[in-house]
Amino acid sequence: MRGMTLLMVAAWLLVSACGGASTPVEHGGAGHGAVHWAYTGEGAPEHWGELSEEFATCGTGQAQSPIDIVGAAGTDLPALVFHYQPAPLSLINNGHAIEQEFPEGSTLESSGRTYTLKQFHVHGPSEHTLNGQSFPMEMHFVHRAEDGSLAVVGLWIREGAENAALEGFFANMPTAEARTAEPEGLTLDPATILPADRTYARYSGSLTTPPCTEGVAWHMLQQPIEASAEQLARFAALYSGTNRPVQPLHERALELDNTP
Ligand SMILES: [Zn+2]
């Protein structure tokens, strides 16, 4: 039963990709599968908008992600409040990224709204840049509100000390063939992954993978976390170049929290 559920989740994630929690691309299998988006070749990011009508926003959207976090206007943003709970280690390799799935119980409060943590996944190198600087990896904590709207908390990972909170993740990442990993007895506490400094920049953006749906509330934590060179290399051996290039800001506001 559990295996069956996981398979279904994996199949669903395969079509819903980066913002896995969203529903815009959740439709019947008929007709799907003809389009293969990727990070290189014919399915590369510059072609995403032409691969399918459903992906048109990737090419025409004016509020796309990721972006370069630069020149943010300083302001007092409300603190992000994390109510994160430990969860069983439950990893999926969806063909584009490695994801950790979360059961109900972990939530995020942002600007008076409550979102439920659905999953996190990782990109390498980073998708968002900081004043033009790239990082070896970027984590996306994907949350969904009751009305379906999405909030993502993004976290840069730089090379440094070994990351104990993420060691179970790095040590058990499934290959694309294995698809899933649920090692018995291992848990992961998302609260311990977050940096002490929760200063963030926010803007309204999109999923960074097709269908590039907009209306995603982005929160980029400004203090990178660290992982060892060995941990980063383990991920790079599975995935590299899984970052969409930065997109134009256009008319959007980019706000940086000034609150001490
Ligand atoms: Zn992502």
Provide the token pair at 226.
């660290």
Which residues, given as ranges, of the chain have pLDDT below 50? 1-32
Report DSSP state, residue 133: B
User: What are the Cα distances from residue 249, in Å, to 27, 128, 158, 207, 218?
Assistant: 30, 12, 24, 15, 13
Catalytic residue ranges: 96
Structural domain boundaries, residue 215: 2-257
Check: CB of residue 114 under 8 Å from CB of residue 125. no
> What is d(CA 193, CA 10) in angstroms, rounded to the nearest whole number?
24
CB-based contacts of 7, cutoff 8 Å, min separation 6: none
Burial of 237 (0-12, 13-18, 19+ CB in 10 A): exposed
CATH number of the domain bearing residue 162: 3.10.200.10
Provide the pLDDT for residue 58: 98
Distance 206 CA to ligand 1 centre (A): 10
pLDDT, one tens digit per residue, over 207-259 is 999 999 999 999 999 999 999 999 999 999 999 999 999 999 999 999 998 76
> What is d(CA 70, CA 48) in angstroms, rounded to the nearest whole number?
26
pTM: 0.87
Provide the pLDDT for residue 160: 98
The total number of structural domains in the chain stands at: 1
Provide the token pair at 242.
């899984």
Distance 255 CA to ligand 1 centre (A): 20
Provide the token pair at 190.
């998302």
CA angle 63, 69, 73 (to 5 degrees): 90
List the one residue out of 172, 173, 34 whose CA is nearest residue 98.
Answer: 173
Distance 209 CA to ligand 1 centre (A): 7
> What is d(CA 63, CA 212) in angstroms, rounded to the nearest whole number?
10
Provide the pLDDT for residue 13: 42
Distance 121 CA to ligand 1 centre (A): 6
Distance 34 CA to ligand 1 centre (A): 22
Provide the token pair at 234.
């383990």
Distance 162 CA to ligand 1 centre (A): 22
H helices of the chain, in order, are 2-16, 48-51, 56-60, 167-172, 229-238
Q: What is the mean pLDDT of the chain?
A: 89
CB-based contacts of 98, cutoff 8 Å, min separation 6: 91, 92, 121, 122, 169, 173, 174, 235, 238, 239
> What is d(CA 209, CA 161) in angstroms, rounded to the nearest whole number?
30
Provide the pLDDT for residue 34: 60
